[in-house]
Amino acid sequence: MSEALRFLAEELEKLKAQGLFRLPRVVQGRQRARAVIDGREVVNLSSNNYLGLATHPRLQEAARRAVESHGVGSGAVRTIAGTQDLHQTLEEVLARFKRTEAVLVYQSGFTANAGTVAAILAPGDVVVSDELNHASIIDGCRLSRATIKVYPHADMEGLRQKLEEARRDVREGGRTLVVTDGVFSMDGDIAPLPDVVRIAREFGAITMVDDAHASGVLGDHGRGSVDHWGLHGQVDIQVGTLSKAVGVLGGYVAGSRTLIEYLLQRARPILFSTSHPPAVTAACIEAIHLMEESDELIRRLWENTRLFQAELRARGFDTGRSQTPITPVIVGEETKAMALSDQLFQEGVFAQGIAYPTVPRGKARVRAIVTAEHSQADLEEAVAAFARVGKRLGIIG
């Protein structure tokens, strides 16, 4: 290592001294409710595969057919020679599913957020963002070079105050964007979207919601938080992911045809990064078809969520403000949260420890996510392990 990079080793040593240094565990085989991770079979509570679609036979078959008909790669960015008929089909299917005029598919949910905010805002504009919004939104705000105003989490008076400030600070003819997660990824709570939309409208602001953890979870057949709240046509920009409940890879923006055509001309991830390979695109199409056909998997997901959270709370665990399958087990102390995660793994349960800077200091937790694929026996085994380790570490009495 060069002397110029010596500071990296020093930073790593600090993390190790704090008990926060982690290397990713390795999933050996399929991403399932029970999986083999680092050579140990465990109940997997760290996957975003909410509906279990990552291993669904219909998605696998769709991917195989696409490789045979279209090859393994798209070969170019969307705006040169990388738009295949499969991409157009996926966007049409998603637009129908989201009940919007059009959709543009990005390479990931991260690029969908960052690329969209950076494309529609410029210096002199203002973006008003919930303090717990995802890192991809934060990065998009910074890349746009717009003025950033952050309101306290889900605080509507705070939102109104920041919009009052934005009204004073925005350049003449400039734009103001209000952006929020639909479901917050670390706490599992649902944004008060009707109030966000109402207040934003009062100020003439653009509205944007990131539905990464609401897609396939909230709303009729998993259409997301806009559907959950009955706000179709009232949110200007909807961002979703294809990497979580959909079970594959990618992100998308849903909205008016004008918005989508503009992003196709200006969003840098679309202009400068190769499009989805055929197998991924075809599997995403099949996943949306499955979600449209039946809500059985979503019903099972919510049954498992209610069971798991009730059992944890009954044993004295603090699950915060979760309203969704994202279940934070709040510990507070960072080293103790990591110890809880490590000892759970030894007990046969994989639930990832989360600490600063992902969450604020003093708010460390183990984040557990149930899926539709978990059985009642899986969840009972996991809760029993939480109870044993929680008592051992003094987290519960």
Q: What is the DSSP string of 34-79?
A: EEEETTEEEEE-S---TTSGGG-HHHHHHHHHHHHHH-S---SBTT
pLDDT given for residue 49 in this prediction? 98
Q: Give me 51's structure tokens.
A: 């509906």
pLDDT, tens digit, for every residue of 3-62?
A: 899 999 999 999 888 877 888 999 999 999 999 999 999 999 999 999 999 999 999 999
Contact 115, 141 (CB under 8 A): no
pLDDT given for residue 210 in this prediction? 97
Determine the Cα–Cα distance for residues 74 and 220; give it in Å rounded to an integer: 33
pLDDT given for residue 158 in this prediction? 98
pLDDT given for residue 273 in this prediction? 96
Contact 74, 278 (CB under 8 A): yes
Q: Determine what percent of the chain is predicted with pLDDT higher than 90.
A: 93
pTM metric for this prediction: 0.95
Contact 200, 190 (CB under 8 A): no
Please check the confidence at residue 233 and state whether its pLDDT lies above 90: yes
Please check the confidence at residue 157 and state whether its pLDDT lies above 80: yes
Split at pLDDT 50, 70, 90, the class of 239 is very high
Q: Give me 95's structure tokens.
A: 């637009």
Q: Which residue shows structure tokens 């926060």?
A: 20
Contacts of 304-309 with CB under 8 Å at 24 or more apart are: 304/370, 304/371, 304/372, 304/374, 304/376, 304/379, 305/370, 307/376, 307/379, 308/368, 308/370, 308/374, 308/379, 308/382, 308/383
Please give the backbone phi and psi of residue 288, each rounded to the nearest 5 degrees, phi first. Answer: -65, -40
Nearest to 243 by CA among 51, 42, 34, 29: 51
Q: Name the H helices within 121-230.
A: 135-144, 156-169, 193-202, 225-228
Cα angle 41-300-97, degrees, rounded to a multiple of 5: 115
Q: Which residues are catalytic?
A: 185, 213, 244
> Average pLDDT in the 285-311 region?
98
CA 244 from centroid of its chain's CA atoms: 7
> What domains are defined for the chain?
18-47+295-393 (3.90.1150.10), 57-293 (3.40.640.10)
Please give the backbone phi and psi of residue 341, each rounded to the nearest 5 degrees, phi first. Answer: -60, -45
pLDDT given for residue 380 in this prediction? 98
Split at pLDDT 50, 70, 90, the class of 397 is confident
Q: Give me 121's structure tokens.
A: 């805002």
pLDDT given for residue 360 in this prediction? 85
Average pLDDT, the chain: 96
pLDDT given for residue 359 in this prediction? 86
Determine the Cα–Cα distance for residues 54 and 45; give it in Å rounded to an integer: 15
Contact 253, 19 (CB under 8 A): no
> Average pLDDT in the 121-149 region?
95
pLDDT, tens digit, for every residue of 62-75?
A: 999 999 999 999 99
Q: Which residue shows structure tokens 């990931």?
A: 108
Contact 312, 319 (CB under 8 A): yes
pLDDT given for residue 17 in this prediction? 87
Determine the Cα–Cα distance for residues 162 and 148; give it in Å rounded to an integer: 10
> Average pLDDT in the 152-163 region?
98
> Average pLDDT in the 293-321 region?
97
DSSP 274: B
Contact 180, 159 (CB under 8 A): no
Instruction: State how far the alpha carbon of 376 is from the alpha carbons of 153, 305, 323, in Å.
Output: 34, 11, 20
